[in-house]
Structure 1
Amino acid sequence: MSNGYSSSSAAPKNADVMEGGHDNVMPTQEYVRKIIEDVSEDDHFTRGPWLSAVVYLDAEGVMESVCLGDMKKYCKIGKLERVVGVVMTCTPNSLGDMTITIKDPSGTMGGLIHYKVFQQEEGYARSINIGVVLILRNVFVFTPKSSNHYLNITLRNIVKVFDKDTEF
């Protein structure tokens, strides 16, 4: 029984990724090549963790994720439905939380990962560090000033973590 994956790569053989709506469907491999060309000045988006996240979202039927650079468009009732980004900085604080900076191709945003994320048996104590890609859902956004936004990340928000050493 075929699972849709070739033995030589992690990408589905017949997966399609929509770009710009239902009328523009392109194969995943072509979409990945386009991403690599579009963001070639920042290699975080050409590495295995990011590309694996793109393929994962495609397999889940997700065609769009939030762009951190356009909060007004995506933030609804103080929440972001989906965030995909590379962890650029992470610093534990004295309360057990972790302050992070997360980046996507459109921009960066600060965030705080709640200490319980690291304490649970299924927690992420060893896996969340610089270079990992996080897929988050239903994340509350704290906005102390109109131009400053911060993600409030809890265990419920984390969908998937792609290790910084993930091969594509």
Structure 2
Amino acid sequence: MRNRESENPLPTQQFLSDLNGPAMLVFNSNPWRYDVHYVKSRDLPEVTTLININHNLERVPTVVAFVESMTPTGKGNYTINLKDPTATIGASLHYKVKQHQQYGEDIVVGCVLVLKQVVVFAPNRFRGPYFLNITKNNVQQVSSVSQT
């Protein structure tokens, strides 16, 4: 509705491009490129795009995504939104991940995560939305915002 209420509405493609502009910058950033290269250079399982996560998957072999938002739950855990070029998905981040000495402080909004063997869960098994449950055993690599 924002575009329609404007005095000079933009063509739909331009409007969507403007909305996605900041997110697309992330996919051209050094941390994103580094982590995609990291997965390829280590012969890790092929990356599963977020749009392809569904009820048939119990675990996702490899995910590369940036942290779009983080909200503390009050018990040390976090609810986060992960984004890749195909979609956004919610996730639960266990408190021990944030306390990890090597990478815990680097997990902030804008960082890029390489995750392995992440559990997929959904309140209703055969319909979305789907969520990821991230523990310290799932974290393969964290590229911080400061690496840009």
* In 2: Cα distance, 1:108 partner to 1:61 partner: 25
Counterpart of 1:116 in structure 2 is 96
Task: Verify: 1:131 aligned to 2:113, yes or no.
Answer: no
Name which of 117, 131, 136 aligns with 1:150.
131
Counterpart of 2:61 in structure 1 is 81
**Match of 1:158, as an amino acid?**
V
Q: Secondary structure at the match of 1:87?
A: strand
Distance apart, 1:122 and its partner CA: 4.1
**Match of 1:65, as an amino acid?**
V
Task: Name the structure where strand makes up a greater proportion of residues.
Answer: 1
Moved more, 61-70 or 82-91: 61-70
Distance apart, 1:165 and its partner CA: 2.3
Q: Percent identity?
A: 32
* Correspondence list, 1:47-126, <5 A: 47-62=29-44, 64-72=46-54, 75-76=56-57, 78-122=58-102, 124=104, 126=105
| Conserved 8 A contact 2:122-2:129 | yes
Distance apart, 1:61 and its partner CA: 2.1
Higher relative contact order (CA 8 A, sep 6+): 2
Q: RMSD of the TM alignment (CA)? A: 1.9
| Conserved 8 A contact 1:48-1:165 | no
Q: Which runs of 5+ in 1 are unaligned?
A: 1-39
Task: Name the structure where helix makes up a greater proportion of residues.
Answer: 2
Could you tell me the TM-score, scaled by structure 1's length? 0.68
* In 1: Cα distance, 2:86 partner to 2:51 partner: 5
Q: Secondary structure at the match of 1:69?
A: helix
* In 1: Cα distance, 2:102 partner to 2:44 partner: 25
Counterpart of 1:18 in structure 2 is none
